[in-house]
Structure 1
Amino acid sequence: MSVTDKVRSPCVSVCALDENDVCIGCQRTGDEILRWTQMTNEERRDVLREVAIREEKFAL
């Protein structure tokens, strides 16, 4: 698998964790951020689905 085939990080370079250990920039947890480079593409897609759910909840 080439680098271009990997699921890209949702990082937007606004890195700060809130009181729930969720980044205010990309909506990933601290653990998800730390493990990102070791994750498979499937795991990364799972995280991105969770990020979308968090973003929806935050928007309400």
Structure 2
Amino acid sequence: MEQLEFFEIPSPCIGVCEANAKGYCKGCFRSRDERFNWQTYSDPQKREVIRLCQMRKQRAVLAMLEARKKAEADAD
């Protein structure tokens, strides 16, 4: 049995609309296709995009922390 959805799944956009080197939005971490097709996606598709965005953000944060660590180690 499928669960009923009572609320629309909002766009993860935070208004920072600029692509990073990998082509993902720096604000919400969606791909170009994910941003342009958001309105046509079903709720399960939107949930999957949000899950992927969360994973991309985690990887970006970890990469930033690793780069910072390396820069600090190189400065010593």
TM-score of the alignment, normalized to the shorter chain, above 0.5: yes
User: Distance between the aligned counterparts of 1:10 and 1:30, measured in 2?
Assistant: 13
Percent identity at matched positions? Answer: 30
Deviations 1:1-57 (A, max 9, x none): xxx721100100010011211000011011100110000111000000001100110
Structure with higher RCO (Cα < 8 A, 6+ apart): 1
Equivalent of 1:32, from 34, 40, 47?
34
Residue ranges of structure 2 left out of the alignment (5+ in a row): 1-5, 63-76
Equivalent of 1:48, from 42, 47, 50?
50
Residue ranges of structure 1 left out of the alignment (5+ in a row): none
Larger of the two Rg values belongs to structure: 2
- Structure 1 runs of 4+ with >6 Å offset: none
User: Distance between the aligned counterparts of 2:54 and 2:14, measured in 1?
Assistant: 15
SS at match of 1:28: coil
